[in-house]
Chains A and B, each alone.
Chain A
Amino acid sequence: GQNIDQPTEMTATEGAIVQINCTYQTSGFNGLFWYQQHAGEAPTFLSYNVLDGLEEKGRFSSFLSRSKGYSYLLLKELQMKDSASYLCAALDSNYQLIWGAGTKLIIKP
């Protein structure tokens, strides 16, 4: 079956760095998305990786290892507004997104 695993909740301190991991098992693979979702709001796109390696975009970076079925989202210089859920989603061979349950990130002052 198809499966996405990510931690349920993480806590970090304002100004610090946090890494949110995601492992996936899908029938075929066409890339890995990360979305941010603030409480009560819609998910918004953060990043897309299809090749191995690190993609940096400001304070946020996303890494992919296709051979390991593994990705992580790295958030630097954490701000209180980064408190949100982070959703990992893999695009399968039919170009359908398989979603993880999300990681709730709590930022403490």
Chain B
Amino acid sequence: IAGITQAPTSQILAAGRRMTLRCTQDMRHNAMYWYRQDLGLGLRLIHYSNTAGTTGKGEVPDGYSVSRANTDDFPLTLASAVPSQTSVYFCASSAGSTSTDTQYFGPGTRLTVL
């Protein structure tokens, strides 16, 4: 069982380019999340999905979009990357969304926007 996988592991991207970060889980979890982690700051929620077919905005959604076509996949798209989006991006999942279920994290994608 892989848990949560993310791709790519790292990426250097020119400003203005479009980029999709991939996230797949095999735990049949209902809820999935995208966070960014920046030095000196806590994890910040970008978007979330409580169940397949639904998505919601987190604390810092601007410049990002997500989709949840099925239970397993939750891609994050940067339509036109900017240098302030340089960060480490973590995808996470939990069994439920309106509960105290533990969130499990993927290995992260390190993104640099130049």
Contacts and interface: CB of A to CB of B under 8 A. Distances in A.
A50 interface: yes
Contacts of A50: 100
A101 B42 contact: yes
Interface size class of B (residues with CB under 8 A): 20 to 34
Given A50-B100, A95-B99, A43 B44 contact: no
Contacts, number: 46
Interface stretch (B13-21, B70-78, B104-112): B104-112
A44 B4 CA distance: 12
Given A96-B45, A97-B45, A102-B42, A48 B100 contact: yes
Interface in B66-114: 90, 97-100, 102-108
Interface in A26-47: 30-31, 33, 41-45
B100 A100 contact: no
Contacts of A73: none
Contacts of B41: 101
Nearest to A50: B100
A96 to B, nearest CB: 6
A98 B99 CA distance: 15
Contacts of B48: 96
A99 B43 contact: yes
Interface of A: 4, 8, 30-31, 33, 41-45, 48, 50, 87, 89, 91, 95-102
